[in-house]
């Protein structure tokens, strides 16, 4: 049954690809030589990778593994000469407009992100320095402390070299978040210097608890295997304003804030309840008295 379903899906995909069979994919001349306005750097390449995994991998497969879907024509591996022979403008046009089984991404991926996607594809171009390398995470560790007076987080990051010794971790992105009830809220990121150190200024807009305390969480990215550092209740945020009605200490002293009809309704309901209780007790006493007689 599963095999039949797979064959049916492949047949549907091949049918969708028919309009694109047997003809070259021509790119308009005015689009062909448009240069990529997005800088070729690690940040953009990483963003492009995320976009590729979400939107392209299901058909094109893993880079360099030629495990694409069996479509006609076959989706090229992004590391292949066929893919890399495209100009940046050509790739942008094809990603934007789509054709046959290749969907258009003009309405689902912003123009900036489409260019970042091309940066990721160029990560596998032999003429470029490969910025993003799929490698196992490196063992690392983080030390961090909070300077509450200056509202800054001071960080030291190190990695374990091949000899098992820890060295300063240079040019590594460090992420600083605030711990919330439902996950962490990213406050920003910093980059370590040549000594593995970094300083992050907590934004003035960060709101803490009623006293301004914030629990800070410091982590490295997925390229490093390191325990996160949690700095409990650092006084670096703005005190949270709590509505007076829900403050614990004023639970029974809110009459001045209550509308009169609500107060009278409460007193009436409470009085009725006590009268009902009294009536029941009275009836129980009467029953007991009659039973003795």
Residue environment code for 92-102, b if the CB has 16+ CB neighbours within 10 A, otherwise e: bbbbebeebbb
Which residue shows structure tokens 């006084």?
A: 235
More confident residue, 52 or 1: 52
pLDDT one-digit tens code per residue, 52-62: 988 998 899 98
* pLDDT given at position 58: 86
* pLDDT given at position 3: 47
* pLDDT given at position 261: 81
Locate the domains of the chain by residue range: 29-123, 138-234
Q: 138-234 domain in CATH 3.40.50?
A: no
Q: Calculate what percentage of the chain has a pLDDT beyond 90.
A: 56
pLDDT one-digit tens code per residue, 119-150: 999 999 999 988 887 767 789 999 999 999 99
Q: What is the pTM of this model?
A: 0.47
Average pLDDT over residues 41-65: 89
Locate 222 and state its tokens. 């997925």
pLDDT one-digit tens code per residue, 195-248: 999 999 999 999 998 899 999 999 998 778 999 999 999 999 999 887 665 555
pLDDT confidence tier of residue 249, bands split at 50, 70 and 90: low
Whether the pLDDT of residue 18 is over 90: the answer is no
Superfamily assignment of 29-123 in CATH? Cytochrome c-like domain (1.10.760.10)
Whether the pLDDT of residue 275 is over 90: the answer is yes
More confident residue, 21 or 149: 149
Q: What is the mean pLDDT of the chain?
A: 85
Whether the pLDDT of residue 9 is over 60: the answer is no
Question: Quick one: CA dihedral 64, 69, 70, 71, positive or negative?
Answer: negative
Fold agreement (29-123, 138-234): no
């Amino acid at each position: 049954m599963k095999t039949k379903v797979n064959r049916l899906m492949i047949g549907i995909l091949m049918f969708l690809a028919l309009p694109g069979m047997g003809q070259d994919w021509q790119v308009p001349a005015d689009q062909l030589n448009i240069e990529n306005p997005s800088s070729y750097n690690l940040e953009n390449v990483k963003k492009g990778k995320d976009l590729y995994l979400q939107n392209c991998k299901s058909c094109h497969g893993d880079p360099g593994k030629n495990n694409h879907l069996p479509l006609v024509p076959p989706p090229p591996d992004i590391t292949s000469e066929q893919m890399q022979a495209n100009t940046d403008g050509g790739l942008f046009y094809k990603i934007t407009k789509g054709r046959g089984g290749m969907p258009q991404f003009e309405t689902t991926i912003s123009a900036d992100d489409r260019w970042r996607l091309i940066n990721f594809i160029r990560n596998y171009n032999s003429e470029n320095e490969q910025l993003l390398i799929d490698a196992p995470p490196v063992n690392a560790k983080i030390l961090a402390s909070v300077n509450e007076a200056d509202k800054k987080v001071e960080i030291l990051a190190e990695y374990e070299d091949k000899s098992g010794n820890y060295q300063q971790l240079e040019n590594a992105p460090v992420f600083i978040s605030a711990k919330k009830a439902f996950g962490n809220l990213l406050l920003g990121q910093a980059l370590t210097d040549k000594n593995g150190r970094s300083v992050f200024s907590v934004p003035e807009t960060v709101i803490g608890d009623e006293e301004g305390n914030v629990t800070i969480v410091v982590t490295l990215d997925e390229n490093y295997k390191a325990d996160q550092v949690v700095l409990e209740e650092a006084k670096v945020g703005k005190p949270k304003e709590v509505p007076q009605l829900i403050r614990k200490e004023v639970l029974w002293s809110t009459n001045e804030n209550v509308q009169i009809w609500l107060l009278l309704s409460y007193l009436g309901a409470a009085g009725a309840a006590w009268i009902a209780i009294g009536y029941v007790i009275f009836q129980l006493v009467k029953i007991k008295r009659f039973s003795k007689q």
